[in-house]
Amino acid sequence: MVTPLRGEPAPLGASPGPDGVNFSVWAGAAREVELLLYERVDDDAPRRVIALQPHRHRSYRYWHVFVPGLRAGQIYAWRARGGPSGGDGYGRDDEKVLLDPYGRAMVRPAGYSREAARRPGRNDAVACKSVVVDTRRYDWEGDAPLRRPYAQTVIYEMHVGGFTRHPSSGLAPQRRGTYAGVVDKIPYLRELGITAVELLPVFAFDEQDAPAGLTNYWGYAPMSFFVPHGGYSQCGGGPRVLDEFRDMVKALHRAGIEVILDVVYNHTAEGDERGPTFSWRGLDNDTYYILEGEGRHANYSGTGNTLAANQSVVRRMIIDSLHYWVREMHVDGFRFDLAAILARDEQGRPLARPPVLFDIETDPVLAGTKLIAEAWDAAGLYQVGHFPGESWKEWNGQFRDDVRAFVRGDSGLVRRMADRLMGSPDLYGARPREPAQSINFVTSHDGFTLNDLVSYNTKHNEANGEDNRDGTDHHLSWNCGAEGPSTDIEVERLRGRQIRNLLAINILSLGTPMLLMGDEARRTQHGNNNAYCQDNETSWFDWSLVQRHADIHRFVRGLIKLRGLRESVRDAHPLTLAELMSLAQVQLHGVQLARPDLAHDSHSLAITAASLSGDLRMHFALNAWWQPLAFQLPALPAEAVGGWRRVIDTSRPAPHDLVDPRHGEPVEGATHTVAERSVVVLFAAVRPTAAMAGPLSGI
């Protein structure tokens, strides 16, 4: 047996070379560290144990060793013993098999057990393990991140598994719910018109981190920050997963679609001090997590633990992970789950200039990468409108809430709705931000689907096994007169109109629009607004809905095309929000021109704007009142061609709800009546060469 060599502390993880593999890990709390080498993933003991010697295999708190003769494909893990937290009852177990925090591939035994990782004692046969992999062995064929401007971006938030797992997807069984399944559905994504997919977590996660008998579906339970989730691969795990993920990214890029990952750097699947030991807890519990005394875990994430993101070792791990996904996996951007947690120090206190956030923002490798913050956390830190840094875009939760409330008919919202339509200047206007600063959304994975938002007054989460206590009660929904599915024609007519209202406002407002998977086909979760543990038809995309609700699907495609035609923001115009508002000649109205009604009981608003090219005038009229209203129309310039034409009217049945602007019905007179609970959009060409003259095929 070849004698192990000293090895090097950098790079971290397992690095294969022509003569063997270098292993390096941070284990700051350990007195003894062992490298475990396995033949098979379900072996109950390692084939070889290499005990690292502190005087030879440790540099500061990095433990490292070079093992001659090893190759890519070797299954391995770590074991760490002793230290300030070892054996003290605060969540550390010296006998546990530990994943490499920098491992690039992972295998999961058929008998994997989260419970065994929580109980005292060894768990070799039922523990996940790392695999040595050479990430350089892949032909990208010239692929690179697309770097599409936000002004040209329409985001589609989707779940890799749920997108194609339903039998109605039409895919072969082995491709359903996989990265390959996403590739098969690229023509659908292109036809819809989206330009970026935002994938729910694809870092390897613990599917058993869920109530008994259920499965963690969403994936917000990371077991690694470097490994693609094996459950979305056709092979089920191991090094091949990397190629399947990269094949998906390459195919999406060829179709002009960016890949944004929903990343979870605020907590791990290890839970609180009573939870399992997978990796970080066993290597250095005190370094990786925010603790509150006597080993108790701070819980700003709402999931049991909180990573100490601004601790130097953890900061480096986060940056290294981001570098890996950009350099080696070619992703285009990241949406940071509960990003406000990254603004907390090692004691959990909010920081004015959080080191990890500014490390990310100023990193040259990440320059040009999309950075999107969910600017709040589960402990009440809410930073929408003032998230630290300059380049971060934000999920605009205020947009979601205000649009929902206005459309359902709540009072006191006209002033706020005007701001939401105009890119939220009340939130972002104080700093020189681009109009796309706000990520506008009405629905996301967390909460009701769009169909359910207009079909349920209350959540129905009984299937989650928590007596309907889980999930938010602040959903601002309205069932339009009947709870759940309805055969009442008038209820369904109103629901369809409300769906169109919400979609039109979301897609045509200034900002970067985001759609939830399946909303374009009225996907339902049957009132479940917290389907994190429903890996079944509750959450999966039922593809038969695309045909069943072809009218809504067509409406969404048309809205996205109109958004591009609008040409309100172009990459050639690097404008701030304030500059755009001036150049676009934005004017606010009520039912009377230039007199917006901001009274508490007002439910109407109109906006007029011009495209930056000057070719097009647009007039938006919103009536959330339960009676029709006559809106005065603004005069057009003398050079206008043909007057106002009605392009969108959400009160009209398909296909008259959205038409090609060339075929829009002329609007005569000084006023136009907008039906109750409706949105109307008028276009007018200012010159014969106007952009409006271009066809919108497929509408």
pLDDT tens track for 150-168? 989 999 999 999 999 999 9
Q: Is the pLDDT assigned to residue 690 strictly greater than 90?
A: no
Which pLDDT score, from 0 to 100, does residue 564 have?
A: 83
SS3 108: coil
555 or 573, higher pLDDT: 555
pLDDT on residue 434: 81
pLDDT at 662: 85
Which pLDDT belongs to residue 40?
97
Looking up tokens 């070792």 gives: 313
Sort residue 393 into left (φ over 0), alpha (ψ -120 to 50) or beta.
Answer: beta
Summarize the confidence of residues 438-453 as an average pLDDT: 98
Q: What is the pLDDT confidence band of residue 86, given thresholds at 50, 70 and 90?
A: very low
Asked whether the CA dihedral 215, 217, 218, 221 is positive or negative, the reply is positive
CA distance 240 to 243: 5
Return the pLDDT at 692: 54
Question: Are the beta carbons of 533 and 210 closer than 8 angstroms?
Answer: yes
> For residue 230, what pLDDT is reported?
97
CATH 2.120.10.30 fits 586-693, yes or no: no
The beta strand positions in 401-486, using DSSP E, are 438-440
Q: Give the single-character DSSP code of 410.
A: -
- For residue 127, give Cα distances in angstroms to 30, 93, 102, 213: 20, 14, 17, 20
Residue 584's pLDDT band, with cuts at 50, 70 and 90, is confident
* Contact yes or no for 161/207 (Cβ under 8 A): no
pLDDT of residue 29: 82
pLDDT, position 696: 56
pLDDT for the residue 569: 43
* pLDDT of 435 strictly over 90: no
Instruction: Say how far apart CA 95 and CA 238 lie, in whole Å.
Output: 24
Sign of CA dihedral 64, 66, 72, 76: negative
CB–CB of 692/565 below 8 Å? yes
Q: pLDDT by residue (tens digit) across 39-82?
A: 999 999 999 999 999 999 999 999 999 999 999 999 999 999 98
Which stretch, 331-335, 347-351, 581-585, has highest mean pLDDT?
331-335
DSSP 8-state symbol, 53:
P
CB 690 within 8 A of CB 641: yes
pLDDT score recorded for residue 88: 44
Q: Looking at the predicted structure, is the pLDDT value of residue 650 above 90?
A: yes
Q: Which pTM does this prediction carry?
A: 0.96
Q: What is the mean pLDDT of residues 349-354?
A: 94
| Token pair belonging to 65 | 């060793």
pLDDT over 60 at 38, yes or no: yes
* Per-residue pLDDT at 413: 97
pLDDT for res 217: 98
CB atoms inside a 10 Å sphere around CB 638: 6
- What digits encode the pLDDT tens for the residues 175-207? 999 999 999 999 999 999 999 999 999 999 999
Q: How confident is the model at residue 573 (pLDDT cuts 50, 70, 90)?
A: low
Averaged over 559-565, what is the pLDDT?
Answer: 90
Q: What's the whole-number average pLDDT of the chain?
A: 93
Beta-bridge partners for 262: 335
pLDDT at 335: 98
Alpha-carbon gap, residue 350 to 372, rounded angstroms: 19
pLDDT for 102 equals 98
At the topology level, CATH places domain 150-271+309-566 in TIM Barrel (3.20.20)
Q: Residue 646 corresponds to which amino acid?
A: R
Which residues are known catalytic residues? 337, 374
pLDDT band of 698, cuts 50, 70, 90: low
Q: pLDDT at position 199, please?
A: 98
Q: Is the pLDDT of residue 694 over 90?
A: no
Q: What is the pLDDT of residue 1?
A: 74
Phi, psi of 675 (to 5 degrees): -65, 165
Distance between CA atoms of residues 488 and 455, nearest Å: 12
- Least confident residue range of 101-110, 223-232, 293-302: 293-302
469: left (phi over 0), alpha (psi -120 to 50) or beta: alpha
Percent of the chain exceeding pLDDT 70 equals 95
The closest of 78, 183, 82, 70 to 132, measured between CA atoms, is 70
Question: For position 611, what pLDDT does the model report?
Answer: 80
Q: Which of 560, 490, 666, 671 is nearest to 152 (CA)?
A: 560
The region of weakest confidence among 315-324, 606-615, 639-648 is 606-615
Position 685 pLDDT exceeds 60:
yes
Query: Rounded distance, CA 504 to CA 493, Å?
Result: 17
Q: Regarding beta strands 616-623 and 48-52, do their DSSP bridges make them parallel or antiparallel, or are they unpaired?
A: unpaired
**Within its chain, how far is the Cα of 558 from the centroid?**
24
pLDDT at residue 695, rounded to an integer: 52
Question: Would you call 104 exposed, middle or buried from its count of C-beta atoms within 10 A (0-12, 13-18, 19+)?
Answer: buried
Can you give the residue ranges of every domain in the chain?
Answer: 150-271+309-566, 586-693
pLDDT range class, residue 238, cuts 50, 70, 90? confident
Work out the average pLDDT over 601-609: 96
What's the confidence (pLDDT) of residue 41? 97
Q: How confident is the model at residue 697 (pLDDT cuts 50, 70, 90)?
A: low
Per-residue confidence (pLDDT) for residue 687, from 0 to 100: 74
The pLDDT of residue 571 is above 80 = no
In what side-by-side order are the strands of the sheet with 20-26?
13-17, 20-26, 62-68, 58-59
Q: Are 22 and 64 in contact (CB under 8 A)?
A: yes
**CB distance 37 to 48 below 8 Å:** yes
Q: Give mean pLDDT, residues 9-38.
A: 96
With beta carbons less than 8 A apart as the criterion, state whether 468 and 585 touch: no
Please write down the HEC assignment for all residues of 163-203: HHCCHHHCCCHHHCCCHHHHHHCHHHHHHHCCCEEEECCCE
Q: What are the pLDDT digits (tens) for 496-506?
A: 999 999 999 99
pLDDT at 572: 47
